[in-house]
Chains A and B, each alone.
Chain A
Amino acid sequence: MDDISGNNRPDWRFAGVSVWVTGADTPVGAAASDMFEREGAKVLRSGVDGIPNPRTSAEAFAQTAGLDKIDILVTAVRSISVKPLLESDAADFDNAVADNLIGVFAAMQAAFLKMVDTAKPEPHSNGVMLVVSSIHGEKPNGSAPLYSVACGGLNMLVREAAQEYGRLGVRVNLLAVGPLEGDPALFPSGITAVYDDAEYKIPRQRLGTPEEAARAALMLCSKDASFMNGASVPCDGGYQGFYMNADVERRLEAALAIGKEAGYGR
Chain B
Amino acid sequence: MTEEPALGVDFESEDFFSREHEESLPLRIRRLVNSQPFAVLCTHGNQHPYGSVVAFSMTEDLAVAVFATPVTTRKFQLLSQSDRVALLIDNRCQHLDDMMHVEAVTATGKAIRVEEGKDHEYWMRLLTTRHEYLSGFVQSPTVALFCIEIARYFHVVRFQEVRQWTPKNKPG
Asked whether A and B interact, the reply is: no
Identify the A interface with B (CB < 8 A): none
Which of B's residues lie within 8 Å of A, judged by CB? Answer: none
